[in-house]
Amino acid sequence: MNKAAAMLLGAATWMGVAQAQELPAPAPAPAPVSDAAKAQEERIRKLEEEVQALKAQGATKPEPVQLGGAGGAAAKALNPDISLNGDFLGAMGRNEVRPVPGLEMHEAELGIQSVIDPYSRGDVFLSFSDGGVSVEEAFVTLTALPGEFVAKIGKMRADFGKVNTTHNHALAWTDRPLVTENLMGGEDGIDDMGISVSRILPAPGDLFLEATGQVFRGESEGLFKASRKNDLSYVGHLRGYEDLTENTNLELGYSYAQGHNELGHDFLTKLSGVDFSLRWKPLRRSIYNSLLWRSEFIWSRRDQLLGPQRAFGWYSSLDYRMDQRWTVGARFDWSERATASNQLDRGASALLTYWMSEFSQVRGQYRFTRYDGRQDASELRLQLIFVMGAHGAHPF
């Protein structure tokens, strides 16, 4: 090897040593992961997944529970609405034809109402009075029938006119009109075991039209009497409702009823009636001002031993709510008697009602009646009404 080659070899050797000194030392090999560490990592991963799932559920709104249109009642886990209505009466004056006690618990009505399932609801009303306890109404309403029909099965007030369907505590007066006493069998009217089927009918414009057909057992005290099992009574009702203006609406109705009377299977009593209600209530002003004018006209044809007996009667009432507390009203009565010829009763009433709240009211009614054109009765009747619990709305 010559001198130049030796010098080149030495330089190369010196540069390699220098580069080797500048390179970092290799990292040590990682230690193997133990099985216990792997299991711990897997548990942490699963916990993180569960936390994310819970957060996602909390962000999603739960679906509202609905039970056949029960609305807020669904949250009560099917507990029924229970209410108690009190109706206490006092009377001063003289009435020798139809006297009433000076003080009486006219009625305490216990109401139990609830949705049964998505297809039906139940209503039970028990009446407590000085005369004892009775079932005023107890029926099941089937709301999901084919063809948009609605059916009721049980004991119920017949859908005849307006007064017959109204419970005592919901009346605008302390009593019922003379036409109810003379032609409809008294305070209970047509109230019997039966089946009712109704349907909303197609109608032009904004007209609401409803037809109802009912079949009853044929037992309504003072009006219908079933001598045989097939002596049924029948009721039909057609009503129409329409808004005339934003503040005014009109309701018209026609009713028909037929059943056997106490003289036997071959003797029928037939009733027909027309009712109208005109309501005014300004929606954009005071919420308490309102006016209701209501009238009913009833014709009776009753088979008797000497031939059919015909009678006619009507009432007309006007009620004006002045403000939150006070309501004034008047009613006129005119009615013949169903079982006697040429006997006519007439009367007039003036009323004043003080609303302590929407759940209690005090009413005074002065009533003058002339029975059969000869016997006069002049009375001042006082009434206290209160409502406890959740009581469903009455028919409008």
pLDDT for 8 equals 43
**3-state DSSP call for residue 14?**
helix
Q: Which residue has the higher pLDDT, 67 or 255?
A: 255
Of the candidates 164, 348, 136, the one whose C-alpha atom is nearest the C-alpha of residue 253 is 164
What average pLDDT score do residues 259-263 get?
95
- Dump pLDDT digits (tens) for 51-91: 777 776 655 555 554 544 445 545 555 689 999 999 999 99
pLDDT of amino acid 341: 79
pLDDT score for 51: 74
* Residues across the chain: 396
- Mean pLDDT value across residues 308-320: 97
Find the mean pLDDT for residues 27-56: 67
Residue 26 pLDDT grade (very low, low, confident, very high; cuts 50, 70, 90): low
Measured CA to CA, the distance from residue 274 to residue 253 in angstroms comes to 6
Please say if the pLDDT value at position 310 is more than 70: yes
Output the pLDDT for position 19.
46
Report the pLDDT value the prediction gives residue 11, as an integer from 0 to 100: 46
Q: Is the pLDDT of residue 211 over 90?
A: yes
| Per-residue pLDDT at 286 | 67
Q: In order of start, what are the domains of the chain with their CATH numbers?
A: 145-380 (2.40.160.10)
Q: What is the CA radius of gyration of the chain?
A: 40
What digits encode the pLDDT tens for the residues 376-393? Answer: 999 999 999 999 987 766
What average pLDDT does this structure show over 216-238? 96
CA 272 to chain centre: 26
pLDDT grade for 217, boundaries at 50, 70 and 90: very high
More reliable by pLDDT, 57 or 338: 338
| Least-confidence region, from 45-49, 88-92, 206-210 | 45-49
When mean pLDDT is compared over 29-43, 50-64, 168-182, 275-289, the highest value belongs to: 168-182
The tens digit of pLDDT for each residue in 137-176 reads 999 999 999 999 999 999 999 999 999 999 999 999 999 9
pLDDT at 78: 66
Q: How far apart are CA 121 and CA 115, in angstroms?
A: 4
- Give residue-wise pLDDT tens across range 102-135: 999 999 999 999 999 999 999 999 999 988 899 9
| Backbone conformation region of residue 342, classed left if phi is above 0, alpha if psi is from -120 to 50, else beta | left
Sign of the CA dihedral 256, 260, 263, 265? positive
Q: What is the pLDDT of residue 4?
A: 47
Mean pLDDT of the chain: 87
Residues 6 or more apart whose CB falls under 8 angstroms from that of 237 comprise: 159, 160, 211, 212, 214, 253, 254, 255, 256
CA torsion angle 367 106 167 356 (round to 10): 80
The per-residue pLDDT for 391 is 72
Tokens of 328: 């004034």
Share of the chain above pLDDT 70, in %: 82
Given the structure tokens 């009733």, which residue do they identify?
271
What the block records as the tokens of 220 is 């309504």
- State the Cα–Cα distance between residues 219 and 231, nearest whole angstrom: 9
Question: Per-residue pLDDT averaged across 25-41, rounded?
Answer: 58
Position 280 pLDDT exceeds 70: yes
Question: Whole-prediction pTM value?
Answer: 0.78
| pLDDT, mean of residues 211-229 | 96
